[in-house]
Structure 1
Amino acid sequence: MSIAAPRALLVVGVLALAGCQHTAPVLAPDVSARLESTPGGFLAGEVSGLEDSAVLNRKDFVWTLAFSPDASRVAYSHLGAREYLFALWTLRPTPALVVDKALNPSEFDVEALAFSPDGKLLASAGWDGVVRLFDAATGAPKVSVRTDEPLTAVAFHPTGGYLVVGSSQGLVTALRVADLGFSSEVRPHAGQVSALAFAADGTLYSGSWDKHIRVFDTREEVLRREQTRLRFERRGGHAVVAGVVNGKSPVAFALDARTPAIVLGTQAAAAAGIDTAFLQETVSMPTALGTIVARVARGQHLRLKGLDLDGVDVAVCDACLPPNVAGVLGAPFSERVDVAFDDATSEAVLTLKSPAPAKQEEQRGLVLAPRANFAFEAHVNDVTLDAAGRRLGVAFSESKAERNRTVYEREKKGLVEPPAEWNAAALVDATSGQVLRKWTRHRGVVASAGISPDGRSISSGGWDKQLYLWREGQEAPVAERRFGWSVRRVRFSPDGQQVGVAAWTPQKATGNQESEPAAALFSVRYAAPTVER
């Protein structure tokens, strides 16, 4: 460990840990005992510094990090040689790796992880548009679903029955946890959703690069199932939408009422659990090569976001498909569903021509009702919430947090941005949106701001390689650490004992490939800590 001499209350450090060994405890035994015996308890009081605790990764680009509700585990996503992975660690009695599991190919960033309120599930959301649920104790996969848009944020509703995901195009979608089935959606933002945070009462806060934080009431209601909206794109003269067959197979469908059947390719059919070799019935299908006899699978299920169609007959035929799609929604689909196009949002509006079955009309789901809109002068890169739901920790930047050639060239030349008013970490009132306190020491984009459970402190990280710990009422940071490259995510543990950091590190291709810390934990020091809940 390398820590410079103190300057007043400021502790400046360069992180240089060798492994996952803890320093001496920073809590007095009686405080530690009270914390352990208080369910849902957390430390409160004036933070006074950080102690280097453990380095979990010093090889990779680490993108995000999340603590379990009881602070006994931590997970982070990182970029391996060919794929994104998530690493799951247990922290008690000492840090130990549980699993390091592949998520998706390396071209799709994984920017979002979240534990369920009971700590039993871990959710991931990435730029491949897929939401995945894992057993949070073992890392075993549970269920996944592909959405319409690249995903950048995820959070569980405090009841544990729903989760919400945010997209790169401003969409916020509520899903059922049991099967990741669609519940509802809103498009409150004109830019990327950078963060989602729930208060204990179910209030949802969504932050975005469009310089807004939107606030929603959430409630469970009977859902309308006769209409849905979903993104479409143009491919080879067809409008193409995404659907799921039998709850298993995500399919890109071309909309074409001229085709006399609903069609699936053989790979999509197999993924949906259809064994083509055992199908007995056939149908004649016109193709560019002439008429083809295709086998028919009857009574299948088709889901198009919020629209469910039972009893769907499907023809399995590769030669019947237009290029670059796995299915066609033909005449039988058009007989049941009206299709209109909203070019302003690039969405197809699907409406059932006949009333939905009673069981679908009575299905309940989570609905997001707008309550408030907080507008700022800068892009919102991160939003966190204290335990009481009264204060937000917000990361701002004057320029959009997009890494481009200009950014890389500036970093390569060692150029440092000057301080700016809205390159800042801030305490924000969760009711009014008023900025209560703003700290502007970061040079450039402030990527992340983790608020302490008691709402009195913030840990922040930025592209200037810096981690700062701020305390309300004090201008200078009470502690800081410098990393090898960009700091991507910082979070207080739910009990207030630790700060976790996800960062990029200069990668090394030789030797043991170890570089500077990329996933690290710090113990938080308090001047006179108390235990609250």
Structure 2
Amino acid sequence: YWAAASRGGEVRLWREAGRTLHKVWQAHSANVSALAFSPDGNTLASGGWENTLKLWDVESCTLLWECWQTGAILAVAFSPDGRLLASGGFDTLIQLWNIHNGTNIQTLAGQGDTVYSLAFSPDGELLVSGHSDGSICLWEPETPELSTYVQRLSAHTLWVAGLAFAPDGTQFASASLDGTIKLWDRERLDCLHTFSDHKDRVLRVVWSPDGRSLASCSFDQTIRLWDVEESRSRAVLQGHTALIYLLAFTPDSRTLLSGSDDGTLRVWDVDRGQSLRIMGGYTVSLFGINWSPDGTQIASGGTDTLVTIWDVASSTSPRVLRGHRWVVQGVAWSPDGKFLASAGYDNSIRLWDTTTGVCLQVLQDPEGTDTLFQDVAWSPDGRLLAAGSYPRGVQVWEIATRTCLWVGQKQPTLIRRVAWSLDGTWLAGGSDDGSVYVWDGRDGTQQQRLEGHQGAIMSVAWSPEGTRLASAGSGRESGELFVWDVQSGKRVQTLVGHSGLVSEVVWNPREELLVSGGSDGKLRWWNIESGACLRVQQRHQGTVHSLKVTTSGSLLASCGDDGIIHIWDLHSGDHLQTLRRDRPYERLNITGIRGLSQAQNASLRALGAFEETSVSV
């Protein structure tokens, strides 16, 4: 079996060396950032950004068990004997799980930084972890009394995003966002060699099962094959058109698989350095949308690194703004409509002239080179720009001077959404630790911390009068949607109805009405006073990531994993319009085609193909 996962939480499984799509299912309600087969190949572990770790039966694709951590899970690794599963992520902890029943056996702590990579030695005696500060920690998981690392290496200057042991266990390799791959002697812990031929950040490194080669992938859109014995690059594999984030060798070491943000999986011949096959997909998810102040245009950003401006009343093609080098998570129009801000994973907030489409300024974290910006929001007077980010939480800039005024958190924190009160006095943000924070917008003084969510906060929204906050997130059994009185810090309403993650919430500026979006693709309208769900609408396939209301309060726009923008009448809930760019197989008629499995048919339809249906009269 081969497996691949998407930012929208979908997992795909192939059999027969990738020639037959076996199963496609919604494994998580957010980005799947970690995936690993057990040594016997019978189970598959997946970790998601909604803080969940799941174990699946490969043949049936049924869920065997599910566990939670207090932050997004970024790395998973099986012990060689298949008894243990290690996981780590934003909460800085490494958890060891019993593979049979999902019970937590041990918590490894003490390194204090986000866990980006994990790898067991072939004999199972050593576990190595890579961290956001560039360090590598070594653990002995078979020694239960040791819950802290036995050795810590100052290995790199930025995140250690990839780790891999040689098959004989004598060496291990590390890959970092500092652009290097390093080889380490396991016993002496000496750095044997540093490879620095990549021209940008390196995300993954894998060792071939025969021990002869290393493969690495980078933001430079290339894969490099390294001869370990001769300590040199022996081949550069080119073909992907976006950053590459997944690599895996087949057991015979002759074939390499790669996954990219360009929406494709590629199969490579290792000896010849050639692409054998391209397995297409369509992974352009939209994470952020925003209305222009006059309600005539919509800006969007997503996984394709592009900022797109749509003219709602026109059939002309949308304008595309290029400049970001990684995922665009949030977009926001300035109150006067002259500027558009976009937030990206590439440690940049770009300010665009909305008339010319020219990028006027790039704002970056003044104290970090690897900050992931999640969201942006202008203060009502247009003087300040707030951003949710990782690892420094919320950051606020003064636009006139282009300077960062204050930062909300000293410890590593993920703030996914930020929102200003209507008068611009307070700024709210939802954190991965399950808390809603409220700061003084002028100087960052924390005014309130609202606690009660069981999982990560995905969205926050102020009431029109500025005394209440709505927050949306994930719980252990279902999604959570709360309304808070900000002054007292008390929860005044719990809105129940979402079965999965509540990913977004927006307040109607004209009446006591909330609209929420979930991982099930549904939008729900709520009466806040009674807590009643007034209506449910579904047009999206996959998670709804953003909801925005026009200044007039008449129209609602939604976007999500399916890359589609839907426009709704906010009051009646009627669907009015659909905006989307063409997919690879848009308008391809597959009616009557034989030999397609159910999974292949569903995949083609997701890429734009259609089947004609006959209607009996």
TM-score, scaled to structure 1? 0.49
Higher-RCO chain (CA-CA 8 Å, sequence separation at least 6): 1
TM-score, scaled to structure 2? 0.43
Structure having the larger proportion of residues in helix: 1
